């Protein structure tokens, strides 16, 4: 018989990992790669480290509050959420499961890797409705700063694209 005991840090991570992104509720902060670390001090104080998708992301206050609430509901009251801007978040931190959830939700997931100071080459954006690559950008900024608005030239459906950065 094999018994797996989770450490307190693993347990806290798993609880924090269930927090949904308020702007795209099908994604968790773990799916996005926003959840960066969990630390437990000697006195039992919990610090959860998160990195915003953008430095001015308006969802961070809600995410912080939701982490504190999720942990409080599981009996953890001494919680601090640390917002870290460096290194800057990149779509490379998103999980494959998160990208699949985006597509199922009707948002085209980021394509390619972040350029990180290099010249980037734009790739075609696949329509999440019909899978066509015959798409075009309507506007660089969509419903949130993370997304651009595209339209499919084949099925004529507009859709959000989660930009690579």
H or E element that contains 89:
none
Domains present along the chain, CATH in parentheses: 8-89 (3.30.300.130), 96-162 (no CATH)
Note whether 89 and 145 are within 8 A (CB): no
What pLDDT does 115 receive? 53
39: number of Cβ within 10 Å: 13
Containing 152, the helix (H) or strand (E) segment is: strand 147-152
Q: Which residues pair with 79 in a beta bridge?
A: 46
Across 142-152, average pLDDT: 86
pLDDT digits (tens, 9 = 90+) for 98-131: 999 999 999 999 886 665 555 445 568 999 999 9
**Contact criterion met (CB below 8 Å) for 94 and 110:** yes
Average pLDDT, the chain: 89
Q: What is the pLDDT of residue 114?
A: 63
Note whether 143 and 130 are within 8 A (CB).
no
Question: Quick check: 1 pLDDT over 50?
Answer: no
The backbone torsions φ and ψ at residue 108, rounded to the nearest 5 degrees and listed phi first, read: -70, 125
Tell me the DSSP string of 18-78. TPBPSSSTTSBHHHHT-EEEEEE-TT--EEEEE--SSTT-TTHHHHHHHHHHHHHHTT--S
Question: What Rg do the C-alpha atoms of the chain give, in angstroms?
Answer: 18
The answer, yes or no, to whether residue 91 has pLDDT greater than 70, is yes
Structure tokens at 24: 């795209």
Most confident of 72-76, 135-139, 141-145: 72-76
């Amino acid at each position: 018989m094999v018994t797996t005991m989770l450490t307190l840090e693993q347990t806290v991570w798993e609880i924090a990992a269930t927090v949904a992104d308020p702007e795209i509720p099908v994604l968790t902060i773990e799916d996005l790669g926003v959840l960066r670390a969990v630390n437990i001090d000697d006195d039992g104080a919990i610090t959860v480290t998160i990195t915003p998708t953008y430095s001015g992301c308006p969802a961070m206050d809600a995410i912080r509050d939701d982490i504190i609430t999720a942990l409080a509901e599981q009996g953890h009251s001494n919680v601090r959420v640390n917002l870290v801007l460096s290194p800057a978040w990149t779509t490379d931190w998103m999980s494959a499961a998160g990208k699949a959830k985006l597509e199922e939700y009707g948002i085209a997931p980021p394509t390619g890797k972040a350029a990180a100071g290099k010249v980037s080459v734009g790739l075609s954006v696949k329509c999440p409705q019909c899978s066509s690559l015959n798409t075009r950008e309507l506007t660089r900024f969509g419903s949130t700063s993370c997304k651009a608005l595209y339209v499919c030239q084949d099925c004529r459906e507009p859709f959000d694209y989660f930009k690579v950065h």
